[in-house]
Amino acid sequence: MRSMPAALQRSRLGASTIWRYMALPVMAIVLALAIAAVVIVASSAFTGEGFQPLLPLSAYQALFVGAFGNENALLNTLVDAAPLMFGGLAVGLGFKAGLFNIGVAGQFLVGAFAAALVGASLASAPAILAVPLAVAAGAVAGGAFGFIPGYLKARTGAHEVVTTIMLNSTAALLLTWAVTDLVRAKGFSFPRTGDIGNAHLPVLLGRNLHLGIPLAVLAIFVIRWLLERTALGFEIRTVGQNPNAARYAGIRPVLIIPLTMTLSGLLGGLAGAVQMLGVIGFYAPGITASVGFDSIAVALLGRSNPIGILFAALLFGAFRAGAPLMQINTSVPIEVIDIIQALIILFLAAELIVRRVFRLRVARTVPEEVQTVTRTWGEQVAP
């Protein structure tokens, strides 16, 4: 009998701790949706459709139905969320080491290209051989592309934001040239690689649920284990919190930084490989790398926690899956989703606004993200 109050108290304490951790992201989403609703009403009035105060409710209802309304909608949400899980992990892992990996877009493209190239060359091989090799090619290519800014950061002090932005453009331009002049498949009216054939990720359910989705969920728990249960994860977090203290403790940031960026690039490459082998099927110039930039929002919303990234990726996947039905049913443009995502990032970065509006007393538990994004450009990390 005496244990019941204590158990209840522990339960309430746990719920309070979880809410303090989740309050800021949840309220940032609520505030973003509220402001986007004002934009929707204002845009409808200016376009001559008249003042429609209930239009945001109809738009959000259609958005929800398009993302979760039936089995096919739910599968589309999961498919759209899978590369965001990998990309969010790529950005979040960098945050843990005090690195702002803004180069996931380039790593995504490199991984997608490598997976498409290997997949096309093994199009007639057995799937049990073609799929693992194509996925591995995407991961290795992304990891190699992530190693470059990590090495430059550790050895020369070159800021990873600058180098990764440059590498994003480098990847897009070099791959356009490669597809146009080197590996262009014959028989098509535009430059592209060949079909990946048997390298397509196996479909597990319906027409959409491919193997990349459980792989992405598995990656969530693998990275969580790596960060929380291994010596390497401890070293990554220590370097991110205080590189000088880490050096005095015998940890070498000059080794941890390139390794972390390589692992981050590997996850970005897996995002591209999963999207290529599970959805697109061939590489062509102009393939969007928006997953790379959305991954930054996913990592911020998930507060660099792998479980948080899982739910943030599902939310953004729902936005992507539900947006077409929202536009069809209510004529609200898909670009509203971009506004919502941008507002979420804004309120996460300026958390004082959210705390003032909702009078929240939230735990300030996001030092990796905020300090990494706002770090002074002249800071150097001692080897």
Q: What is the mean pLDDT of residues 347-352?
A: 76
Q: 323, 63 in Cβ contact below 8 A?
A: yes
- Give pLDDT, residue 356: 72
pLDDT single digits (tens) 287-337: 877 888 899 989 988 988 999 999 999 999 999 999 999 999 988 888 888
Burial of 197 (0-12, 13-18, 19+ CB in 10 A): middle
- The answer to whether the beta carbons of residues 298 and 176 sit under 8 Å apart is no
- Could you tell me if 327 and 143 are in contact, meaning their C-beta atoms sit under 8 angstroms apart? no
- Domains in the chain (CATH in brackets) are 23-373 (1.10.3470)
Model confidence at 148: pLDDT above 50: yes
Whether the CB-CB separation of 339 and 330 falls below 8 Å is answered with: no
* Lowest mean per-residue pLDDT among 53-57, 67-71, 147-151: 53-57
Q: Give the bridge partners for 210, in sequence order.
A: 203
Provide the pLDDT for residue 375: 52
Residue 261 contacts residue 135 (beta carbons within 8 Å) = no
Average pLDDT along the chain: 86
Number of Cβ atoms within 10 Å of the Cβ of 166: 15
In percent, the amount of the chain with pLDDT more than 70 equals: 84
Strand-pair partners of 209:
205
Across 15-24, 32-41, 136-145, 153-162, which has the greatest mean pLDDT?
A: 136-145
- pLDDT greater than 50 at residue 376: no
Phi and psi, residue 210, nearest 5°: -100, 175
- pLDDT band at residue 14 under the 50/70/90 scheme: low
The mean pLDDT value for 329-349 works out to 86
CA–CA gap between residue 306 and residue 93 (Å, rounded):
9
pLDDT reading at 79 higher than 90: yes
Least confidently predicted of 48-52, 71-75, 112-116, 359-363: 359-363
Confidence (pLDDT) at 381: 43
Question: Shortest CA distance to 285 belongs to which of 158, 175, 382?
Answer: 175
| Rounded Cα distance, 19 and 144, in Å | 39
